[in-house]
């Protein structure tokens, strides 16, 4: 018997899943291009500090919260500061990689969408890093913030930013920590069914508190990342959202065709027509 239900998701996923080796090489290649591109932005120290003073002034004119208020909350306990540093160092790439692997295995159509969006956001961020070098707030004297990575550890940055060969410390805007975390949350909300899936938004919120509290990014860095992500999401076609558990349709079978019923209408012939009686009307007509 035919059914109106959709084909099994596992079958379509197996058909649409791209080759694993190609995807690994593609993602690794994009990452290497990004890392190499960031290194090209090194050496613009004076311009990076000029831009930092501009961003700090823009935030004050926009009446954005002071980054120092978030850092003060972290500095209440050394264990809290270290936890924030570990989150900044370890969760960024780990969570994004786990997100892509899970989508590749369970939601291939969402994987292709997420990979394209992340590639667009990362490429746009690289252009901004090259054209607008920016020193983070931990380097800005007027901000009076603590470099929590150097003071408490751990950190991935060298003590001398100008000679750091591992990372470009003058690429604060936009914050890919926040942009990637926001995409992970949006992607998981789109690709899962749980009624609690919107709790994934806690990941970018916690990331925002960490990047600001550790003085690695300004508020405007996160705002710029969110804007780039919004543009990428508008450009890349969105896959159909997975229906929630509460809204899953109940399969129903197609009813068999009903036999045609005989017509109840009875054709009347001339023999069936009533014969008029000799009433007054007929007598009057004869007369």
Instruction: Please give the model's pTM, rounded to 2 decimal places.
Output: 0.78
Are the beta carbons of 146 and 196 closer than 8 angstroms? no
User: How far is the CA of 109 from the CAs of 88, 91, 114, in angstroms?
Assistant: 30, 25, 9
Measured from the Cβ of residue 202, the count of other Cβ atoms closer than 10 Å reads 11
Q: What is the pLDDT of residue 253?
A: 53
Q: What is the DSSP letter of 270?
A: G
Which residue is listed with tokens 């994987």? 111
Q: What angle (nearest 5°) sits at the alpha carbon of residue 12, between those of residues 10 and 15?
A: 110
Percent of residues in the chain assigned helix, strand, coil, to nearest 5: 65, 0, 35
Per-residue pLDDT of the chain (287 residues; tens, 9 = 90+): 443 333 344 444 444 788 888 888 888 887 777 777 666 666 678 999 999 999 999 999 999 999 999 999 999 889 999 999 999 999 999 999 999 999 999 999 999 999 999 999 999 999 998 899 999 999 999 999 999 999 999 998 877 776 665 677 898 999 999 999 999 999 999 999 889 999 999 999 999 999 999 999 999 999 999 999 999 999 999 887 676 555 555 455 555 566 555 554 444 544 455 555 554 444 444 44
For 108, other C-beta atoms within 10 Å of its C-beta total 19
Contact 265, 15 (CB under 8 A): no
Q: Residue 116: exposed, middle, or buried by beta-carbon count in 10 A (0-12, 13-18, 19+)?
A: middle
Residue among 44, 220, 223 at smallest CA distance from 133: 44
Decide: 198 and 70 in contact? Cβ < 8 Å: no
Of the candidates 221, 207, 174, 229, the one whose C-alpha atom is nearest the C-alpha of residue 90 is: 207
Residue with tokens 């160092």: 89
Residue among 206, 204, 202 nearest 181 (CA):
204
Are the C-beta atoms of 228 and 179 separated by less than 8 Å? Answer: yes
Q: Is the dihedral of CA 208, 213, 219, 222 positive or negative?
A: negative
């Amino acid at each position: 018997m035919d059914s109106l239900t959709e084909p099994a998701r596992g079958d379509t996923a197996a058909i649409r899943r791209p080759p694993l080796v190609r995807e690994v090489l593609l993602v690794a290649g994009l990452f290497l291009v990004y890392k190499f591109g960031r290194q090209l932005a090194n050496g613009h120290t004076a311009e990076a500090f000029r831009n930092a003073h501009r961003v700090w002034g823009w935030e004050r004119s926009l009446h954005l919260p002071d980054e120092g208020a978030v850092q003060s909350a972290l500095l209440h306990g050394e264990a809290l500061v270290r936890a924030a540093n570990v989150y900044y160092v370890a969760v960024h790439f780990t969570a994004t990689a786990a997100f892509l692997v899970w989508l590749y295995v369970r939601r291939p159509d969402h994987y292709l969408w997420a990979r394209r969006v992340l590639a667009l956001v990362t490429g746009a961020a690289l252009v901004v890093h090259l054209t607008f070098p920016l020193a983070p707030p931990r380097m800005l004297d007027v901000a009076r913030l603590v470099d929590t990575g150097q003071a408490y550890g751990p950190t991935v940055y060298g003590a001398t930013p100008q000679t750091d060969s591992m990372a470009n410390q003058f690429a604060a805007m936009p914050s890919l920590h926040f942009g990637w975390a926001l995409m992970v949350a949006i992607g998981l909300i789109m690709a899962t069914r749980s009624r609690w899936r919107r709790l994934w938004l806690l990941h970018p919120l916690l990331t925002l508190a960490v990047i600001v509290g550790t003085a690695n990014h300004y508020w405007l860095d996160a705002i710029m990342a969110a804007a780039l992500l919004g543009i990428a999401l508008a450009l890349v076609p969105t896959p159909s959202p997975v229906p929630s558990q509460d809204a899953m349709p109940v399969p129903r079978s197609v009813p068999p065709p009903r036999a045609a019923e005989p017509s109840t209408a009875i054709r009347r012939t001339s023999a069936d027509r009533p014969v008029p009686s000799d009433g007054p009307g007929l007598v009057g007509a004869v007369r």
